[in-house]
Structure 1
Amino acid sequence: MSTAPASADQRYPLRSSRAFRWGMFVAVAVIMAIGIVLMFLLTQATGNRELYERNYGRLFVINVAVAALLLLVIAWIAVRMVSRLRQRKFGSRLLVKLAAIFALVGFLPGLLIYVVSYQFVSRSIESWFDVKVEGALEAGLNLGRVTLDTLASDLANKTRSAAQELADTPAAMAPLALERLREQLSASDVVLWSGTGQLVASAGQSRFQLNPERPSNQLLRNVRSQRAVAVIEGLDDPGGLNNTRIKALAVVSPPTVGLLAEPRILQVTQMLPSPLVANAISVQEANREYQQRALGREGLRRMYIGTLTLSLFLAVFGAVVLAIVLGNQLARPLLVLAAGVREVAAGDLSPKPALQGKDELGGLTRSFAEMTQQLADARAAVDKSMVQVNAARAHLQTILDNLTAGVVVLDEQGRILTANPGATRILRVPLAACEGRPLASVEGLETFGAAVQQQFDDYLAERRQHGLDHWQQSFELGAVGAGAPGNVVTLVARGAEMPGEQPGRTARLLVFDDISEIVSAQRAQAWGEVARRLAHEIKNPLTPIQLSAERMEKKLAGKLAPAEQALMTKSVQTIVDQVDAMKRLVNEFRDYARLPAAELKPLDLNALVSDVLHLYAREGDGEHPSHVPVRMELDARCPPILGDAQQLRQVLHNLLQNAQDATEGAAVRQVAVKTQWNEGSRRTRLIVQDSGSGFPEHILKRAFEPYVTTKAKGTGLGLAVVKKIADEHAARVDLKNRVENGLVLGAQVSLSFPVAA
């Protein structure tokens, strides 16, 4: 079952869209920027009373909202991370670990600073409102007041003395006197007023004013009642640091005593020193602010602690958000690499994503992607090479499978590594099931395997001395395989050494072919040539010999004594009989040599067998005696074969005659003729069985050669003719002894014919 390939987001779970990542980054950056700005404004509000009273509440609420929004973002990210962790998505644990590390790195220092700052702020606020501080401020305020009062009282006394000096000064001389008095008193302005508040004379700055500021009526009344008064002006005016002054007024008594004499008022203005005024104002402002904050001490403490706590929350929340964002950025290349490594380990060499960052991790992902691409190219080259190798191997295997020769590869110990079907067909042993076993241990191939091993040993020894590249030897195998025991197989084998599959190891190549048919054909051809020459060389002298013996018997008839006549008659008869025997033998050899080529036509083998056996079922036939019963078992499934009816009749007669002769002297005399159809090999078999003593071992090896027989009167040409006719029909002849429980039950000859197309 095939599955669709995983998408990029499925293979890399942390790979979100670029727009989403940038949107999250911008949103978090905006929230943190707003929080920082609001925190700055909040800290500014704590140092400005008016700004604090006007905007602190709103700033605090907005900062709380920003902190809550950051908390919601953190909660959403945490829920998402927990969900990914529960779903066992790849990379979730690493991201959680990195986020936790960054969060702890940001939270623990912030918590430590918060604890220290909390203690510092609490103790600092308490220290601000100490009794000593309050007493110091009060003492400073009193000192300023006393100083100013002393300066005012001193100026008032001096003004009273100066007023007494001006009592006798006429009005016309008043300006000069006032100027001199201004210099003596270091005053900035000196004015002489009439009793009704009219300007009489002036010196200093008021001289340049058209309407100098006249004293108030209340002040004039105080002067008349107290004779001398001093007041401080400009201390509470905005920007009064350079305009703070002491005005001292004193009554100037008239020079004469009378009802019309009007007292005058002397006004002296002296500027206060700027440092003194500044210090006095600072002490006054400090005392006023201290009193105000002393009244709101607990509120101030809550304000600072709240601001500090909110700053901690914003810092920690911002640190956590940055930790998650930065952790994600840091973990993303690692997760890309980890996912890529997992895919490569699973065999997936598809192109891997590479980050475009300029840092080392981005370069590492690019290097990994390049390495993966190189691996993919190498795998493609290997796959292409493997396809070529497999094609060549399949081509070679096809060649080996279709070779008529047998090919067996052995290891250094002679164990079978592989074998082609040709080897199994020739040796008639399932070598594929014997892989891993020594060839000499396979049943039926012990002698052959030992001989092959010896040939390889000799070859290796001689190769070191003479540089041989192969060895070649012929072997004769008897009773090979279970399919045809008793057959003699002649093999020509060739061996060589070849490289093994493992480096440094060698294998042994054994190639052999069955030349039994070639040897048999050569022998048949040789026997045919011998038979032809025997028929020519022997038959010609036989007739003169017979005629000479008969003529000699005629010439000497009646001329010899009876005993000698009898001996001569017997000798002549012997010569004639032996000549006849020699003629029959020569005729059989002639017939074997002159056996005509078969005319193959579609033939019903069952019908042919029935027709021939019909002759053997009749009693008293001198040519085909039926003293041995013949049992017939025909397979109705047998299809027609290609054969020559006349030659196959001869084959049947020869086999039946041999079978009947073999049963002579047997306890059970019985011959069976069978036909069988083999669906797997698509061949039809003709089987002739007897109940005799079977073939001797030496006969099995040369049964098809002419003049090989066990019968005293036989010529040994019967099976040779059968073999020659079988070759003409492309049939395979098998001979074996039927054995059961170690006892030979008789002989069996079978011919396997191909069916007609």
Structure 2
Amino acid sequence: MTRVARWGWVITLVTLTGVAGVLAFVLTIGTTSERGFFERHYHWLYWVNVAVAAVLTLVILTAAVRLVVRVRSGRFGSRLLLKLAGIFALVGVVPGVMIYAVSYQFVNRSIETWFDVRLASALEAGLNLGRGTLDAMVADLGVKTRDAAEQLAEGGTTPQLLALERLRDKLGARTIALVGGRGQILMESGGDTRQLAPDRPSDTMLARARGGSPASQLEGLEDEAAALQGNAQIRALALLPSTELRLGLGERYLMVIQSVPASMLANALAVQTANSEYQQRSLERVGLRRMYLGTLTLVLILALFAALLLAVTLGNQLARPLLMLADGMRLVAQGDLSVRPALATRDELGGLTRSFADMTGQLSDARAQVSRTVVELDAARTHLQTILDNLTAGVLVFDADGHIETVNPGATRTLRLPLSAYVGRPLADVPGLEAFASQLDQRFEQHLGSRDPTERDMDRELWQDSFELQLDPKQDPLTLLVRGAPLPQGARLVVFDDISEVVSAQRSAAWSEVARRLAHEIKNPLTPIQLSAERMQHKLEAKLEGTDQAMLVRSVATIVNQVQAMKQLVNEFRDYARLPSAQLKPLDLNALIHEVLSLYAEPQEKGRLAADLAPGLPNIRGDASQLRQVIHNLVQNAMDAVQERADGRVVVRSSLSLTETGAPRSVRLHIIDNGPGFAEKVLKRAFEPYVTTKSKGTGLGLAVVKKIADEHGARISLRNLHAAPDAGSPPDAAPDAAVIGAQVSLSFSNLAPVTEPGATGAKT
């Protein structure tokens, strides 16, 4: 604010204060003085008007000149200021002149008409109308409260806060509460911010409501000032009917508190005040006409000049924050969310500029927060996608229509089908998964149909089941452990794992138990059978001749040979079931291989068996006797596989796997042959007991190997070798090509420390 403007305000305020004091004095004296007061002091009231007019004229002219100069200089907002000043001037001057003319005629000619019987009757009727309106509102709220109580009782359960909130919105009440039998507040919705809890209903209202009829009353009219500030209210209380036979539940009431509309209350109080003043003025009408005519001119002059001055001043004050807001909005529209200046005034426009500055700061903070949230959301989405991509389990998410929404690589690896190409389509569209899709739908329907919707236990939200899928007729079916869960908005989540190896391990455990029982039950009678047959031959051979003697010898030989075969079978089962725990010690794998291959001197001399051992392998921790049996079984199986081929050949190879830093990771053993390979159905179950491709085999050799490998923490794998389609492709790159052999691999990651003593065997 400039210095001239400050001086203008000081002069204006001083003038207005003086005039207001004079008017207050005149009005005070005029209402209590004797007749003829204004006639005796009319001359000095006239000169007061002249002085006030001169001062205000000077101030108005100064403000007008400054405004004209501002408009001519083309300053931003000057036209808006001029428009506001003109509007305020018209609003102040025109009504003032009209009011003066009408008031003069009214005071001069019609003041006596104020005090007649019709006016008194009208004021009395207005009072009665106000009372009747308030009484009707009280009765109407009582009826609505009773209806609301009956509506709450129809629910059959204890009303909840959400139900009270909805009922409060429906009734348009300020407060709605559930009240106990002694008037205590059990639950409330809404309320007056000036009170922590609504007042308890009076005993009189409780007694009336307990009788079955709603009780309602008007409160807060004792103090008119407090009533105008919002303390006037209508309180209604109705008994809440109880339809439940539950112990411990006493009487409950529904209490509704509704604020009396401020306009209606103000009008009623105004009519009451006017009636009181009318009664008082009717007694003081003498000298009233002269008092009004004497002060009306002074008020008119003050109003006209004050209106003009305030038009310019308020126009400037209004234009300043509006111009600040306009400039700030223009910058915000351009994307500039920097801190904006704000006015320190306490009026609404100053508050508007502060709110706009706060809003701009909040927008800036929100934009920064959104940017951070977007970054965090992208990171979380990337993190979640990374987790899904690296999960070994398959994950499928279906939308509400049953279409595939999300597929992770684990699902593609497990099912070996391009599921990603079917996103947005039903699972039944994937070739080979029609039955699986139908089974999933049935399992979800069964789960959703049997679930109690009121229970939120996570164990009841999920279901788990196992399914078998026959994706390829040439291969064994997949055994999947599937978990399903319903998601919001009708979506569904399916997570599955391939548990075929787990089932295979369970079969191995079952076969171990069968082998133990078989060895116990069969081996005991075999020796008596053999001895009895030999004893029969010893006793009867000398007594028989010819064909009878030959038949006896053949029969006994057959019994003995079969008993020996049975003993060998039982011993193999016993060894499989009672495989001793591995005694892990440092040993040289190459030395152990040489020791076993020394038993196959003839095949090595003929070139059917060869060793390709990597030198300098680190020692592994293992049981020499058990690993010797592993190597022997694998070499013997490979030799059996190539025995019918003239060019059959078996290679025993060892190698070392290194980490990225060059440190030893594992020692590997490979037994490779060029035999016919394994059937596809046998590949997955080759390590299970009683699974064999030999006509005379027991199927326990690879099962024992698998069991020993597990004892050593080694990883064993079995695969067929295929002919490459061209010279540039690796031998196993074409699974549909012709089989040219098989390979069994063992990977030992349990390496012995370099300084650990006790290693067996010599380095080769």
TM-score range normalised by the length of the shorter chain: 0.3 to 0.5
TM-score, normalised on structure 2? 0.47
User: Which structure has the bigger radius of gyration?
Assistant: 1
